[in-house]
Amino acid sequence: MEQALEELNQMKWLGPKCHDKREKAAWIDCLKLYQSTVLQLNQTLDKSTKHTDFDAQTWLSAALTFLDTCQNGFIELNVTKNIFPLMSNNVALMISNSLAVNNSTTEQQDYREGFPRWVSSGDRRLLWSELPIPDLVVAQDGSGDFCTIKEALDALMNMSHSGRFVIYVERGVYNECIEIELDMPNIMLVGDGWKNTIITGNRSHVGGFSTFDSATVSITGDGFIAQGITFHNTAGPQNGQAVALISLDFIFGNAAVVFQNCFIHGRTPINGNQIVITAQSRSDPNQNTGISFHRCRVAPAEDPKQLLRPFVAYLERPWRDYARVVYLRTYLDWFVPPEGWSQWGNQTDNLETLYYGEYKNYGPGSSTKSRVKWSGFHDMRNKTVAQNFSVAKLIGGDSWLPQAGIPFILDL
Grade residue 364 by pLDDT with cuts at 50, 70 and 90. very high
Closest by CA to 293, choosing from 361, 342, 344, is 361
pLDDT in tens, 165-187: 899 999 999 999 999 988 888 89
E strands of 191-286, at which residues? 197-201, 217-219, 225-227, 230-233, 245-246, 252-253, 256-260, 263-266, 274-276, 279-280
Residue 277 has pLDDT above 80, yes or no: yes
In percent, how much of the chain has pLDDT > 70? 91
pLDDT at 107 over 70: no
Low-confidence winner among 109-118, 144-153, 238-247, 288-297 (lowest mean pLDDT): 109-118
Is it the case that residue 398 has pLDDT exceeding 90? no
Mean pLDDT over 59-76 rounds to 89
Higher pLDDT: 328 or 78? It is: 328
Crossing angle of helices 90-102 and 2-14, rounded to 10°: 150
Q: Looking at residues 96-108, what average pLDDT do you find?
A: 71
In this prediction, residue 290 has a pLDDT band, given cuts at 50, 70 and 90, of very high
Angle between helices 53-76 and 90-102 (to 10 degrees): 150
Give 322's pLDDT tier (boundaries 50, 70, 90). Answer: very high
Query: What CA–CA distances, in Å, run from 205 to 202, 210, 240, 401?
Result: 10, 6, 6, 35
CA distance linking residue 369 with residue 395, whole number of Å: 30
Per-residue pLDDT, 229: 92
Q: Which residues contact 56 (CB under 8 A, 6 or more apart)?
A: 44, 102
Q: Would you state the pLDDT for residue 112?
A: 62
What contacts 64, CB < 8 A, 6 or more positions away?
Answer: 92, 95, 96, 99, 283, 284, 287
356 alpha carbon, distance to own chain's centre: 19
DSSP 362: B
Half-sphere exposure at residue 322, Cβ-oriented, CA atoms within 13 angstroms: 14
**Averaged confidence pLDDT in the chain:** 87
- pLDDT tens for 109-168 read 555 655 666 677 777 776 666 667 899 999 999 999 999 999 999 999 888 777 788 999
CA dist list (Å): 55 to 62, 64, 87, 230, 282: 11, 14, 28, 29, 18
User: How many other CB atoms are found less than 10 A from the CB of residue 265?
Assistant: 13
Dihedral-angle region of residue 200 (phi above 0 means left; psi in -120 to 50 means alpha; beta otherwise): beta
Radius of gyration of the chain (CA): 22
Dihedral of CA 70/71/72/74: which sign? positive
Number of other CB atoms surrounding residue 301 within 10 Å: 11
**Cα torsion through 99, 103, 107, 110, rounded to 10:** 10
The closest alpha carbon to 341, from 278, 252, 262, 269, belongs to: 278
Mean pLDDT confidence for 325-347:
95
> Average pLDDT of 29-45?
91
Q: How big is the CA angle at 249 (ends 245 and 251), to the nearest 5 degrees?
A: 95
Of 8, 75, 24, the closest CA to residue 319 belongs to 75
Q: What is the pLDDT of residue 117?
A: 65
Domains for the chain: give ranges and CATH numbers: 2-102 (1.20.140.40), 119-248 (2.160.20.10), 249-412 (2.160.20.10)
Predicted confidence band of residue 260 (pLDDT cuts 50, 70, 90) = very high
Mean pLDDT value across residues 340-352: 92
| Distance spanning both ends of the chain, measured CA to CA | 40
Look at residue 118 in the predicted model and tell me its pLDDT: 63
Whether the Cβ atoms of residue 292 and residue 315 lie closer than 8 Å to each other: no
Strands lying side by side in the sheet with 172-175:
172-175, 197-201, 230-233
